[in-house]
Structure 1
Amino acid sequence: MFNYLTLTERFPGLPATPVIIEAFDYARERMPAYLFNHVVRSWIFAYQLGKLKGLSYDAEVVAISTLLHDLGLTAHADGPHRFEVNGAAVAVAFARERGFDARRCQLVWDAIALHATPSIGFLKEPEVALCGRAISVDFGAPDYEAFAQADIDAIVAAVPRLQMKREFAACACKIAHTRPETTYDNFIRDFGERFVPGYQRMSWVDMIAGGPFSE
């Protein structure tokens, strides 16, 4: 079983500040094991991708954003919005309580709320873009190719996937089944359409055609 100390020993250079350690423990206490491992891998990918690309960024913002980005998939960030937005609100409260100013809190919110919307998030500030890109590496997205396979293998060996594909799909399907109104404009819609009987997304074509205007 890994912990913060063993990770920093295996991956020298990982930032170790009190607020990052708090975020690490906060996530571990609130997420199932497979999801916690996913967010930890995302954080390590962010650190290594930042090095590979020579990026300058706020390491605490990126760490908090990656480590807390999936709180919206748990009961600890319940709310009426899509899961990314629900999670972003809790993460910002965490950051604000630990002294982050308005600008840093905004970066945390954007990084989490937009992490599954790459067409927007990847074009924003380095912290926001790096968070989304690193998270997507754990799903095999294009930045995966920036890593040597040995580096990927080392991260997965240190932080196992724990049936990530199966568990994540089950989580997404549950949201599509129980709260479909929060899924129409994010990737959970795809799980709903593929796997959830009776799921039917809202169509903007129908909304526009049925709007209150005569022409």
Structure 2
Amino acid sequence: MTLNVKGIHIPDSRMAQQATELVRDTESELLFNHSSRVYYWGALAGQQRGVVVDHELLYIGCMFHDMGLTHDHCSCDKRFEVDGANAARDFLRQHQISQADIDKVWTAIALHTTPGIPEFMDPVIALVTAGVEMDVLGINYAGYSDEEREAVVAAHPRTPQFKEDIIEAFYQGVKDKPQTTFGNVKADVIADKQPGFDKGNFCSIIRASRWPS
């Protein structure tokens, strides 16, 4: 039986079941449990905000948001967020989901590491980011009760060293394509693991452009 927290549970649909199986078979246990928690935090954040959201689409967005960190879905030249968004898009197409809904999920995954924008968009987009921010950064931690946090973590455990483990997972997923992290929080991950890493500088790029002034 799936966890039920304040009426929030994993959608009972064939598509959701297949998504669960695919992500569990593709991601590490660390990332699978993280993605599962992200769904609960995101859905509970929707309750807190009083917004109506399609929980099935939200679940797909949350479960696929880190698929771009995996070997199976990692490209050599795209941001990992785009790789994950593309994986979700291909999955949703197999289930005859409308293009408008596919676009919502794609955008939710593509923007989940871009703070300050998703919160003003469709609830699917906003709540994927809210769930990620809660699980990784602890944003709005106090907005969840002890009982809610304990129930979700009991069902989908955090490792004893989750903070360092998730940073390492991020690093392993992007270290071979550092050029994709420019202007992205993942540049901080590479810099943390490789102290000599040059993250690039937006102002330097402007000044070095071919424009004469």
TM-score normalized with structure 2 length? 0.91
Between 1:37-46 and 1:149-158, the stretch displaced more is 149-158
> Where does structure 2 lack aligned partners over 5 or more consecutive residues?
none
Q: Which residue of 1 aligns with 2:41?
A: 45
Q: Residue 175 of structure 1: CA displacement? A: 4.3
The secondary structure found in structure 2 opposite 1:139 is helix
Q: Percent identity?
A: 29
Q: What is the aligned-residue RMSD (CA, Å)?
A: 1.7
Runs of 5+ consecutive residues of structure 1 not aligned to the other structure: none
Shift, 1:184, TM fit: 1.5
User: Partner amino acid for 2:65?
Assistant: H
What amino acid maps onto 1:99 in structure 2?
A: Q
- Of 151, 166, 175, 2:148 maps to 151
Find 1:118's aligned residue among 107, 115, 126.
115
1:95 match: 92
Contact 1:62 1:127 in 2 (8 A): yes
Shift of 1:115: 0.7
The Cα of 1:150 is off from its aligned counterpart by 2.1
Aligned partner (choices 155, 168, 171) of residue 170 of structure 1: 168
**1:11 Cα shift?**
6.7
Deviations 1:65-112 (A, max 9, x none): 001110011012111211101110011110111111110000010000
1:176 to partner: Cα distance: 5.0
- Measure the CA separation in 1 of the matches of 2:195 and 2:31: 25
Change in Cα spacing, 1:140 to 1:213, as seen in structure 2 (3 Å) is closer
Partner of 1:19: 15
| Letter of the structure 2 residue corresponding to residue 139 of structure 1 | V
1:206 equivalent in structure 2? 204
- After superposition, the Cα gap between the structure-2 partners of 1:75 and 1:24, relative to the gap in structure 1 and judged at 3 Å, is same
CA distance in 2, matches of 1:134, 1:144: 11
Closer/same/farther in 2, CA of residues 177 and 135 from structure 1, 3 Å limit = closer
Inter-partner Cα distance in structure 2 for 1:213 and 1:45: 47
Question: Retained in 1: the 8 A contact 2:69–2:80?
Answer: yes
Structure 1 residues 199 and 94, CA, compared in 2 at 3 Å: closer, same or farther?
same
> Aligned partners of 1:137, 1:213: CA distance in 2, in Å?
43
- Deviation digits for residues 164-184 of structure 1 (CA, Å, limit 9, x no counterpart): 222211122334532210112
Shift of 1:142: 2.7
What amino acid does structure 2 have at the position aligned with 1:144?
Answer: Y
CA contact (8 A) 1:62 1:131 kept: yes
Alignment partner of 1:7: what SS? coil
How many residue pairs get aligned? The number is 210
Counterpart residue number, 2:105: 108
8 Å Cα contact 1:115/1:121 also seen in 2 = yes
